[in-house]
Amino acid sequence: MMNWNALYHRLREQIPSLELRQNEPMSRHTSFKVGGPVPIMALPKDENEAQAVLAVAALEFGVRPFFMGKGSNLLVGDRGTGLLVMKACDGLGRLELLPEGEWPGHQTILAGSGVSLARLASFALEHGLTGLEFAHGIPGSVGGGVYMNAGAYGGEMGQVVSSVTSVSLPPEKFVQENIDPQFSYRHSVYQERDDFILRACFNLRPGDPAEIRAKMDGLAVRRKEKQPLEYPSAGSTFKRPAPVDGQPVYAAALIDGCGLKGLSVGGAQVSEKHAGFVVNKGGATCRDIVELITQIRERVFKETGVTLEPEVRYLGMEGEGWNF
Protein backbone atom coordinates (compact mmCIF):
# COMPACT_ATOMS: atom_id res chain seq x y z
CA MET A 1 0.00 0.00 0.00
CA MET A 2 1.31 3.40 -0.99
CA ASN A 3 2.62 5.57 1.86
CA TRP A 4 1.45 8.99 0.69
CA ASN A 5 2.71 10.75 3.81
CA ALA A 6 6.20 9.44 3.18
CA LEU A 7 6.11 10.70 -0.42
CA TYR A 8 4.75 14.07 0.70
CA HIS A 9 7.51 14.58 3.27
CA ARG A 10 10.20 13.40 0.86
CA LEU A 11 9.05 15.91 -1.75
CA ARG A 12 9.04 18.60 0.95
CA GLU A 13 12.59 17.63 1.93
CA GLN A 14 14.00 17.42 -1.60
CA ILE A 15 12.18 20.44 -3.09
CA PRO A 16 11.56 22.95 -0.27
CA SER A 17 10.18 25.61 -2.63
CA LEU A 18 7.62 23.29 -4.25
CA GLU A 19 3.93 24.04 -3.69
CA LEU A 20 2.37 20.85 -2.34
CA ARG A 21 -1.17 20.13 -1.20
CA GLN A 22 -2.51 17.10 0.65
CA ASN A 23 -6.01 15.68 0.24
CA GLU A 24 -6.76 18.35 -2.35
CA PRO A 25 -10.35 18.37 -3.68
CA MET A 26 -10.30 18.07 -7.46
CA SER A 27 -13.55 20.03 -7.63
CA ARG A 28 -11.30 23.09 -7.21
CA HIS A 29 -9.35 22.17 -10.34
CA THR A 30 -11.90 21.00 -12.92
CA SER A 31 -14.23 23.10 -15.04
CA PHE A 32 -17.11 20.73 -14.16
CA LYS A 33 -16.58 21.72 -10.49
CA VAL A 34 -16.85 18.10 -9.35
CA GLY A 35 -14.34 15.58 -8.04
CA GLY A 36 -13.13 14.17 -4.75
CA PRO A 37 -9.66 14.50 -3.21
CA VAL A 38 -6.26 13.35 -4.35
CA PRO A 39 -3.65 12.45 -1.72
CA ILE A 40 -1.03 14.84 -3.12
CA MET A 41 -1.05 17.62 -5.69
CA ALA A 42 2.25 19.14 -6.81
CA LEU A 43 2.28 22.53 -8.55
CA PRO A 44 5.83 23.08 -9.85
CA LYS A 45 6.87 26.69 -10.33
CA ASP A 46 9.49 25.95 -12.97
CA GLU A 47 10.94 23.20 -15.11
CA ASN A 48 13.58 22.22 -12.55
CA GLU A 49 10.91 21.59 -9.92
CA ALA A 50 8.90 19.53 -12.43
CA GLN A 51 11.91 17.31 -13.13
CA ALA A 52 12.65 16.94 -9.41
CA VAL A 53 9.07 15.83 -8.66
CA LEU A 54 9.33 13.12 -11.32
CA ALA A 55 12.68 11.94 -10.02
CA VAL A 56 11.47 11.54 -6.45
CA ALA A 57 8.12 10.01 -7.41
CA ALA A 58 9.40 7.55 -10.00
CA LEU A 59 12.85 6.60 -8.74
CA GLU A 60 12.21 6.50 -5.01
CA PHE A 61 8.53 5.53 -4.80
CA GLY A 62 7.69 3.94 -8.18
CA VAL A 63 4.83 6.40 -8.66
CA ARG A 64 3.65 7.66 -12.02
CA PRO A 65 1.99 11.06 -11.54
CA PHE A 66 -1.15 12.11 -13.35
CA PHE A 67 -0.44 15.23 -15.39
CA MET A 68 -3.06 17.95 -15.78
CA GLY A 69 -3.47 21.52 -16.94
CA LYS A 70 -6.53 23.62 -16.10
CA GLY A 71 -8.87 20.61 -15.84
CA SER A 72 -11.17 21.91 -18.57
CA ASN A 73 -11.51 18.47 -20.15
CA LEU A 74 -11.39 16.35 -17.01
CA LEU A 75 -14.04 14.52 -15.00
CA VAL A 76 -12.95 13.20 -11.59
CA GLY A 77 -14.83 10.65 -9.50
CA ASP A 78 -16.68 11.71 -6.36
CA ARG A 79 -14.36 9.65 -4.15
CA GLY A 80 -11.34 11.20 -5.82
CA THR A 81 -8.45 9.06 -6.93
CA GLY A 82 -5.33 7.60 -5.35
CA LEU A 83 -2.76 9.43 -7.46
CA LEU A 84 -0.06 12.04 -7.24
CA VAL A 85 -1.39 14.84 -9.45
CA MET A 86 1.12 17.18 -11.06
CA LYS A 87 -0.51 20.35 -12.32
CA ALA A 88 0.98 22.76 -14.83
CA CYS A 89 0.14 26.16 -13.42
CA ASP A 90 1.24 29.78 -13.59
CA GLY A 91 4.81 28.98 -12.59
CA LEU A 92 5.30 27.28 -15.94
CA GLY A 93 4.27 30.54 -17.56
CA ARG A 94 7.19 31.38 -19.83
CA LEU A 95 5.91 33.35 -22.80
CA GLU A 96 8.17 35.03 -25.33
CA LEU A 97 8.59 35.90 -28.97
CA LEU A 98 11.66 34.16 -30.37
CA PRO A 99 13.98 36.22 -32.57
CA GLU A 100 13.50 34.19 -35.75
CA GLY A 101 10.75 31.99 -37.07
CA GLU A 102 11.48 28.42 -38.10
CA TRP A 103 9.62 28.90 -41.37
CA PRO A 104 10.07 31.76 -43.86
CA GLY A 105 7.46 34.44 -43.32
CA HIS A 106 6.55 33.18 -39.85
CA GLN A 107 7.45 34.11 -36.28
CA THR A 108 7.68 31.78 -33.32
CA ILE A 109 6.16 32.13 -29.86
CA LEU A 110 7.50 29.94 -27.06
CA ALA A 111 4.92 29.21 -24.34
CA GLY A 112 5.19 27.25 -21.09
CA SER A 113 2.66 24.50 -20.45
CA GLY A 114 0.95 26.49 -17.69
CA VAL A 115 0.11 29.44 -19.95
CA SER A 116 -3.61 29.74 -20.62
CA LEU A 117 -4.68 29.52 -24.23
CA ALA A 118 -6.49 32.85 -23.82
CA ARG A 119 -3.27 34.53 -22.67
CA LEU A 120 -1.32 32.91 -25.50
CA ALA A 121 -3.81 34.14 -28.11
CA SER A 122 -3.74 37.66 -26.63
CA PHE A 123 0.07 37.63 -26.70
CA ALA A 124 -0.04 36.71 -30.39
CA LEU A 125 -2.47 39.57 -31.03
CA GLU A 126 -0.16 42.02 -29.21
CA HIS A 127 2.62 41.05 -31.63
CA GLY A 128 0.44 41.14 -34.74
CA LEU A 129 0.51 37.38 -35.31
CA THR A 130 -2.42 35.39 -36.67
CA GLY A 131 -3.33 31.71 -36.31
CA LEU A 132 -4.39 31.46 -32.68
CA GLU A 133 -7.68 33.35 -32.80
CA PHE A 134 -9.61 30.07 -32.38
CA ALA A 135 -7.82 29.39 -29.07
CA HIS A 136 -8.81 32.60 -27.29
CA GLY A 137 -12.07 31.16 -25.96
CA ILE A 138 -10.80 27.68 -25.09
CA PRO A 139 -10.57 27.47 -21.27
CA GLY A 140 -7.44 25.35 -21.18
CA SER A 141 -3.67 25.61 -20.95
CA VAL A 142 -0.90 25.13 -23.48
CA GLY A 143 0.01 21.74 -21.99
CA GLY A 144 -3.56 20.46 -22.04
CA GLY A 145 -4.16 21.95 -25.47
CA VAL A 146 -1.15 20.14 -26.92
CA TYR A 147 -2.04 16.89 -25.15
CA MET A 148 -5.49 16.70 -26.75
CA ASN A 149 -4.87 18.80 -29.88
CA ALA A 150 -7.54 21.22 -28.70
CA GLY A 151 -9.48 23.10 -31.31
CA ALA A 152 -12.56 25.12 -32.15
CA TYR A 153 -14.20 26.77 -35.16
CA GLY A 154 -11.95 25.09 -37.71
CA GLY A 155 -8.67 25.74 -35.90
CA GLU A 156 -6.62 23.35 -33.80
CA MET A 157 -3.25 23.20 -32.09
CA GLY A 158 -1.79 20.92 -34.73
CA GLN A 159 -2.04 23.75 -37.27
CA VAL A 160 0.28 26.06 -35.32
CA VAL A 161 2.46 23.97 -32.97
CA SER A 162 5.87 23.31 -34.50
CA SER A 163 7.59 21.50 -31.61
CA VAL A 164 7.12 20.45 -28.02
CA THR A 165 9.56 19.98 -25.15
CA SER A 166 8.68 17.50 -22.42
CA VAL A 167 10.24 15.64 -19.53
CA SER A 168 9.78 11.90 -19.27
CA LEU A 169 9.59 9.66 -16.25
CA PRO A 170 12.99 8.37 -15.14
CA PRO A 171 14.96 6.27 -15.72
CA GLU A 172 14.31 7.34 -19.33
CA LYS A 173 16.08 10.38 -20.79
CA PHE A 174 14.80 13.44 -18.96
CA VAL A 175 14.16 16.54 -21.08
CA GLN A 176 13.33 15.76 -24.67
CA GLU A 177 13.40 18.66 -27.12
CA ASN A 178 11.56 19.09 -30.40
CA ILE A 179 9.26 16.11 -30.10
CA ASP A 180 6.89 15.67 -33.05
CA PRO A 181 3.43 15.67 -31.40
CA GLN A 182 1.96 13.51 -34.22
CA PHE A 183 -1.33 15.36 -34.05
CA SER A 184 -4.63 13.95 -35.27
CA TYR A 185 -8.21 14.80 -34.35
CA ARG A 186 -8.26 15.47 -30.58
CA HIS A 187 -5.13 13.37 -30.20
CA SER A 188 -1.39 13.70 -29.82
CA VAL A 189 1.43 11.27 -29.19
CA TYR A 190 1.45 12.43 -25.56
CA GLN A 191 -1.64 10.36 -24.91
CA GLU A 192 0.64 7.33 -25.30
CA ARG A 193 3.71 8.77 -23.53
CA ASP A 194 4.54 9.15 -19.84
CA ASP A 195 5.73 12.71 -20.40
CA PHE A 196 5.03 16.01 -18.69
CA ILE A 197 4.81 18.78 -21.28
CA LEU A 198 7.07 21.70 -20.37
CA ARG A 199 6.63 24.08 -23.30
CA ALA A 200 5.69 24.37 -26.95
CA CYS A 201 6.65 26.52 -29.91
CA PHE A 202 3.98 28.10 -32.13
CA ASN A 203 4.79 29.25 -35.65
CA LEU A 204 2.48 32.06 -36.70
CA ARG A 205 2.09 34.43 -39.64
CA PRO A 206 2.13 38.23 -39.38
CA GLY A 207 -1.35 39.71 -39.65
CA ASP A 208 -3.33 42.89 -39.24
CA PRO A 209 -4.01 43.36 -35.49
CA ALA A 210 -7.41 44.94 -36.23
CA GLU A 211 -8.44 41.90 -38.28
CA ILE A 212 -7.10 39.50 -35.66
CA ARG A 213 -9.04 41.31 -32.92
CA ALA A 214 -12.20 41.37 -35.04
CA LYS A 215 -11.97 37.61 -35.62
CA MET A 216 -11.44 36.93 -31.92
CA ASP A 217 -14.36 39.17 -30.99
CA GLY A 218 -16.56 37.48 -33.60
CA LEU A 219 -15.78 34.03 -32.24
CA ALA A 220 -16.46 35.26 -28.69
CA VAL A 221 -19.91 36.46 -29.77
CA ARG A 222 -20.63 33.08 -31.42
CA ARG A 223 -19.60 31.25 -28.26
CA LYS A 224 -21.75 33.41 -26.04
CA GLU A 225 -24.77 33.03 -28.34
CA LYS A 226 -24.52 29.27 -28.83
CA GLN A 227 -22.76 27.79 -25.80
CA PRO A 228 -23.97 27.51 -22.17
CA LEU A 229 -21.04 29.45 -20.75
CA GLU A 230 -23.03 30.32 -17.62
CA TYR A 231 -22.77 26.74 -16.28
CA PRO A 232 -19.77 24.57 -15.38
CA SER A 233 -18.98 22.05 -18.11
CA ALA A 234 -16.09 20.49 -19.98
CA GLY A 235 -17.01 22.11 -23.28
CA SER A 236 -18.06 19.71 -26.01
CA THR A 237 -18.78 16.43 -24.27
CA PHE A 238 -18.30 14.18 -27.31
CA LYS A 239 -15.85 13.92 -30.17
CA ARG A 240 -17.05 14.51 -33.71
CA PRO A 241 -18.31 11.14 -35.03
CA ALA A 242 -16.91 9.62 -38.19
CA PRO A 243 -18.73 10.58 -41.41
CA VAL A 244 -21.69 8.43 -42.40
CA ASP A 245 -21.98 7.63 -46.12
CA GLY A 246 -19.41 10.32 -46.78
CA GLN A 247 -21.44 13.00 -45.00
CA PRO A 248 -20.28 14.84 -41.86
CA VAL A 249 -22.04 13.96 -38.62
CA TYR A 250 -22.21 16.16 -35.54
CA ALA A 251 -22.75 14.91 -32.00
CA ALA A 252 -24.93 17.87 -30.98
CA ALA A 253 -27.28 17.35 -33.94
CA LEU A 254 -27.64 13.65 -33.15
CA ILE A 255 -28.37 14.34 -29.48
CA ASP A 256 -30.86 17.07 -30.36
CA GLY A 257 -32.49 14.83 -32.97
CA CYS A 258 -33.06 12.20 -30.29
CA GLY A 259 -34.97 14.73 -28.21
CA LEU A 260 -32.40 14.79 -25.41
CA LYS A 261 -32.03 18.52 -24.82
CA GLY A 262 -32.86 19.18 -21.19
CA LEU A 263 -32.47 15.54 -20.13
CA SER A 264 -31.24 15.55 -16.52
CA VAL A 265 -29.72 13.23 -13.97
CA GLY A 266 -29.44 14.90 -10.59
CA GLY A 267 -27.69 18.22 -11.13
CA ALA A 268 -26.34 17.25 -14.55
CA GLN A 269 -28.22 18.26 -17.69
CA VAL A 270 -27.96 18.14 -21.46
CA SER A 271 -27.81 21.85 -22.16
CA GLU A 272 -31.02 23.33 -23.50
CA LYS A 273 -28.88 25.85 -25.39
CA HIS A 274 -26.42 23.44 -27.06
CA ALA A 275 -27.06 19.69 -27.05
CA GLY A 276 -23.35 18.93 -27.35
CA PHE A 277 -22.74 20.19 -23.81
CA VAL A 278 -23.43 18.37 -20.56
CA VAL A 279 -23.56 21.02 -17.82
CA ASN A 280 -23.57 21.16 -14.05
CA LYS A 281 -26.80 23.04 -13.29
CA GLY A 282 -25.93 23.03 -9.59
CA GLY A 283 -24.94 20.33 -7.15
CA ALA A 284 -24.13 17.72 -9.80
CA THR A 285 -21.93 14.82 -8.79
CA CYS A 286 -19.53 12.97 -11.02
CA ARG A 287 -21.91 10.01 -10.86
CA ASP A 288 -24.73 12.21 -12.17
CA ILE A 289 -22.60 13.34 -15.11
CA VAL A 290 -21.37 9.85 -15.95
CA GLU A 291 -24.88 8.42 -15.79
CA LEU A 292 -26.16 11.18 -18.08
CA ILE A 293 -23.34 10.61 -20.58
CA THR A 294 -24.15 6.89 -20.51
CA GLN A 295 -27.84 7.53 -21.21
CA ILE A 296 -27.01 9.87 -24.09
CA ARG A 297 -24.69 7.33 -25.70
CA GLU A 298 -27.20 4.50 -25.34
CA ARG A 299 -30.09 6.53 -26.74
CA VAL A 300 -28.14 7.92 -29.70
CA PHE A 301 -26.79 4.48 -30.59
CA LYS A 302 -30.24 2.91 -30.34
CA GLU A 303 -31.86 5.53 -32.57
CA THR A 304 -29.06 6.29 -35.05
CA GLY A 305 -26.51 3.47 -34.85
CA VAL A 306 -23.76 6.01 -34.13
CA THR A 307 -21.48 5.44 -31.14
CA LEU A 308 -20.55 8.72 -29.48
CA GLU A 309 -17.06 8.82 -27.99
CA PRO A 310 -16.61 11.16 -25.01
CA GLU A 311 -14.04 13.88 -25.42
CA VAL A 312 -13.79 14.35 -21.67
CA ARG A 313 -11.18 12.29 -19.80
CA TYR A 314 -12.26 10.33 -16.73
CA LEU A 315 -10.16 9.89 -13.60
CA GLY A 316 -11.44 7.92 -10.64
CA MET A 317 -10.92 5.17 -8.13
CA GLU A 318 -10.18 1.71 -9.47
CA GLY A 319 -13.29 -0.41 -9.66
CA GLU A 320 -15.82 2.40 -10.05
CA GLY A 321 -16.73 0.87 -13.37
CA TRP A 322 -17.22 3.86 -15.67
CA ASN A 323 -17.17 2.42 -19.15
CA PHE A 324 -15.69 5.24 -21.20
Can you say whether residue 135 is alpha, beta or left, with left for phi > 0 and alpha for psi between -120 and 50 degrees?
A: alpha
In this structure, the number of other CB atoms found within 10 A of the CB of residue 234 comes to 23
Beta strands in 169-238, from DSSP E residues, in sequence order: 175-179, 195-206
Task: Name the strand (E) or helix (H) holding 274.
Answer: none
Task: Name the strand (E) or helix (H) holding 193.
Answer: none
Do the Cβ atoms of 20 and 41 come closer than 8 Å? yes
What 3-state class would DSSP assign to 253?
A: helix
**Rounded to whole angstroms, what are the CA distances from 237 to 51, 141, 277?**
33, 18, 5
All residues at 6 or more sequence positions from 222 whose CB lies less than 8 Å from its CB, including other chains: 153
As annotated, the active-site residues are: 186, 236, 311
Q: Which amino acid is at 90?
A: D
Q: Which amino acid is at 164?
A: V
All residues at 6 or more sequence positions from 187 whose CB lies less than 8 Å from its CB, including other chains: 148, 149
- The alpha carbon of 6 is separated from its chain's Cα centroid by a whole number of angstroms, namely 30
In this structure, the number of other CB atoms found within 10 A of the CB of residue 61 comes to 16
- The alpha carbon of 149 is separated from its chain's Cα centroid by a whole number of angstroms, namely 9
